[in-house]
Amino acid sequence: MSSQPFQTTQAATPPATSTFPGRDLISIRDLSPIEIETIFHLAGLLKARPSNFRTALAGKQMVMFFEKQSLRTRLTFEAGMASMGGNAFFMDQTAGRLDAREKLSDIAHNVERWVDAIVLRTYTHGTVEGMAEHACIPVINALSDLEHPCQALADYFTLLERFGDLKKICLAYVGDGNNVAHSLLLTAATLGSRIRVATPEGYGCDAQIVADARDLAQQTGAVIEILNDPNQAVDGADAVYTDAWTSMGHEHEEQVRNQIFPPYQVNEKLVAGAAPHAVFMHCLPAHRGMEITDAIMDCDRSVVFDQAESRLHVQKAILLLLLGGKVGRSNSRSANG
């Protein structure tokens, strides 16, 4: 199906779940501010009262095609689907790209007749877009070389739980301008928040992503700062975020990157410039002693495992909304109670 944005609404309250079913989630750009708030609201309910949703996706089935290794993404999608009464099927594509043996459109037209949703973790963003173009069931981007929308939504849900009003916080991201940085930029811009991204020269974010984030910021009041100095980025920040210096698919660059990125290591010296209440974030897996130190990963202000937990709740909300899950009266009473 076409990767069209979810319906945008200017209503003062979150839209009904009926605006979501059948849509794709390929990019954060597919979501309006109110739609992200809807996901967060539902994720909070799912986290607080999971037993109320045990049959919400009964009879629904989902297939996951993963070209990259995974711990958090696979388990949170599988556990989330099972906890709502649905089934998940895992297709290991780590030995070969998804369309290597068969035309992508043929795969899409087969799968759409068997299951209700497709979750993709791929190298090429075009694979996700191609599947969405041809399949008439929801397609979810669980990571591509361009974006990681589920991760960024989970991260901002974590910050929402910690700080409340996301318009009043500043997130500093230091390190590689990769897919996670892209989705964080777009999420901050959509929510009207403030974000600073500091990367070494030559390792910055995609120019189109930055342009799109700035365009969104003009509508929402967000503040987008693109920097090279990690200390400037962290100064006074409410949250300091980093990711691996070398993403999967770029292993051939590892030695060079390891010589360039040490000034961007999230360590006690760097975070000393952040706000006294600042939290420290990483999407995992972490290379301890490289982009982040043990002292930061394991300190009281680290929320890295809260982020990992948030993946479960946010992805459950996404699945429930896209698949049009049945939320019974008990769930409605819980929402009001």
Q: Does the structure show a pLDDT above 80 at 332? A: no
pLDDT number for residue 18:
52
We report the CATH number of the domain holding residue 128 as 3.40.50.1370
Looking at the structure, do residues 64 and 199 belong to the same domain, yes or no? no
Check 24, 99, 238, 243 and give the catalytic one. Answer: 243
Place of tokens 């990259």: 68
Looking at the structure, do residues 139 and 204 belong to the same domain, yes or no? no
- 8 lies in a domain? no
Check 257, 283, 307, 315 and give the catalytic one. Answer: 283
Residue ranges of E strands in the chain: 61-66, 87-92, 117-121, 139-141, 170-174, 194-198, 223-227, 239-242, 279-282
Domain count of the fold of the chain: 2
- 335 lies in a domain? no
Q: Does the structure show a pLDDT above 60 at 210? A: yes
pLDDT number for residue 250:
79
pLDDT number for residue 335:
40
**pLDDT tens readout for residues 219-235:** 999 999 999 999 999 99
Looking at the structure, do residues 114 and 196 belong to the same domain, yes or no? no
Looking at the structure, do residues 181 and 212 belong to the same domain, yes or no? yes
Check 29, 74, 134, 151 and give the catalytic one. Answer: 151
H or E element at residue 160: helix 149-163
For residue 207, what are its two tokens? 């120019």
Q: For the chain, give me the number of helices (H) and strands (E)?
A: 13, 9
State what percent of residues in the chain have pLDDT above 70. 91
Looking at the structure, do residues 260 and 221 belong to the same domain, yes or no? yes
Q: Does the structure show a pLDDT above 90 at 150? A: yes
Looking at the structure, do residues 117 and 177 belong to the same domain, yes or no? no
**pLDDT tens readout for residues 235-284:** 999 999 999 999 887 789 999 999 999 999 999 999 999 999 999 999 99
Looking at the structure, do residues 102 and 142 belong to the same domain, yes or no? yes
Check: CB of residue 286 under 8 Å from CB of residue 7. no
Higher pLDDT, 6 or 142: 142
Looking at the structure, do residues 131 and 162 belong to the same domain, yes or no? no
**pLDDT tens readout for residues 13-23:** 444 455 788 89
Task: Let me know if 311 is a catalytic residue.
Answer: yes
- 334 lies in a domain? no
Task: Let me know if 170 is a catalytic residue.
Answer: no
Check 134, 311, 313, 315 and give the catalytic one. Answer: 311
Looking at the structure, do residues 318 and 282 belong to the same domain, yes or no? no
Give mean pLDDT, residues 185-202.
98
Place of tokens 């070209």: 67
Q: Does the structure show a pLDDT above 90 at 7? A: no
In the predicted model, what is the mean pLDDT of the chain? 92
pLDDT number for residue 325:
80
Peptide bond preceding 285 in cis form (omega within 30 of 0) = yes
Check: CB of residue 130 under 8 Å from CB of residue 88. no
Q: Does the structure show a pLDDT above 70 at 10? A: no
Task: Let me know if 54 is a catalytic residue.
Answer: no
- 337 lies in a domain? no
pLDDT number for residue 20:
87
Task: Let me know if 151 is a catalytic residue.
Answer: yes
Check 148, 182, 257, 282 and give the catalytic one. Answer: 148
Check 72, 121, 125, 313 and give the catalytic one. Answer: 121
Looking at the structure, do residues 171 and 301 belong to the same domain, yes or no? yes
Give mean pLDDT, residues 9-33.
72
pLDDT number for residue 51:
96
pTM of the model: 0.92
Domain that holds residue 195: 151-308
Confidence category of residue 5, pLDDT binned at 50, 70, 90 = very low
**pLDDT tens readout for residues 81-123:** 999 999 999 999 999 999 999 999 999 999 999 999 999 999 9
Confidence category of residue 327, pLDDT binned at 50, 70, 90 = low
